[in-house]
A and B are shown apart, each in its own frame.
Chain A
Amino acid sequence: MRKTKYKWFWVWDFEKEERWLNSMAAQGWALVSVSYCRYEFESCEPGSCAIRLEMLDAMPSSAEGLQYIGFVEETGAQYVGHVMRWAYFRKDVSEGAFNLYSDLDSRIRHVKRIQALLLPLAVCNICNLPLQVTNYIRNGYSGLLWCAAFVAAVTAMMGYGLYRVGAMRVALEKERQLRE
């Protein structure tokens, strides 16, 4: 039996997304395909598999990305699919827990990768904002005000996202001073 769910997660909520996908698996719904906001599940033995997602260094469809996916699959996990640079993996947990990272350094590198993706987007939006506002002031057309408001909202969201991901990195780095 299959079912489809539509759900939106912000990039910085990837841990929440992962938790949700794992709670679906615990209820007997294994993730079998993903696309933008769309998750497809197939019934499975409750709690028989675990899901992990990861933002890859390269596009999952590139040679480099495929090489990595092949490596993960060699270890008994299955590649479910990807949304932009995010890859989704599923693994039968009868052989033990499923993780993609086993130390703090690699988790820090992952978070840095997400920061590197968000930062240019935030900078573009911040640069765009004054342009939108002056455009509205000069022309006075109300549509332009909405445009500026939209850019402001996106900028605020990106800023918030950077803050969240930054906090994750700080927490991990603090922990790293004490242990691996």
Chain B
Amino acid sequence: MAEQENIVLTEGVYYILLALTRPLHGYGIMQRVDEMTAGRLRMAAGTLYGALNSLQEKGWIRSAGAQEGRRKEYVLTEEGRVVLEADLRRLEELVENGRCVLGRRKE
């Protein structure tokens, strides 16, 4: 299913999925991504909102049920995890080839 098309995630989507391995609301995702990338990737609200809607339509994330006031929480689905892991393998290959060609050894 998920691997059929050789899916390449965008950086933003990759980090959103990674953040959603535990339930989070929108602002929580932004903070989590910020932490993971040490402030390099700052997800903006408009971009995140659009991505969350598309990811939900695709079934890679779902609403986590509990609604904290007006805030909606999301969490990764099983299908989302499969996609994320496939992309991680792709990224590992990417890094491996980069290191190989540019002659940098893995420490």
| A, B from the same assembly | yes
Q: Which residues of chain A have a CB within 8 Å of any CB of chain B?
A: 54, 68, 70-72, 74-77, 96-97, 99-103, 105-106, 109-110, 180
Q: Mark B19-52, 1 if CB is under 8 A from A, else 0.
A: 0000001110010000000010111111111110
Q: Which 3 A-B pairs have the closest CB atoms?
A: A100-B46, A102-B44, A106-B47
In the complex, are the beta carbons of A74 and B26 less than 8 A apart? yes
8 contacts between A and B (CB under 8 A): A70-B70, A72-B45, A72-B49, A74-B27, A101-B47, A102-B42, A103-B47, A109-B50
Q: Which residues of chain B have a CB within 8 Å of any CB of chain A?
A: 10-12, 25-27, 30, 39, 41-51, 70-71
Chain A contacts for B42, CB-based, 8 A: 96-97, 99, 102
In the complex, are the beta carbons of A102 and B27 less than 8 A apart? no
Chain B contacts for A75, CB-based, 8 A: 26-27, 30, 45
Contact of B71 among A74, A101, A106 (CB under 8 A): A74
- B11 CB to nearest chain A CB (Å): 6
Chain A contacts for B25, CB-based, 8 A: 74
In the complex, are the beta carbons of B46 and A54 less than 8 A apart? yes
Q: Closest residue to A97 on the B side, CB-wise?
A: B42
- B50 CB to nearest chain A CB (Å): 6
Chain A contacts for B27, CB-based, 8 A: 74-76
In the complex, are the beta carbons of B43 and A102 less than 8 A apart? yes
A70 CA / B49 CA spacing, docked (Å):
11
A84 CA / B12 CA spacing, docked (Å):
30
In the complex, are the beta carbons of B46 and A72 less than 8 A apart? yes
Chain B contacts for A96, CB-based, 8 A: 39, 42
In the complex, are the beta carbons of B26 and A71 less than 8 A apart? yes
Chain B contacts for A102, CB-based, 8 A: 12, 41-44, 47-48
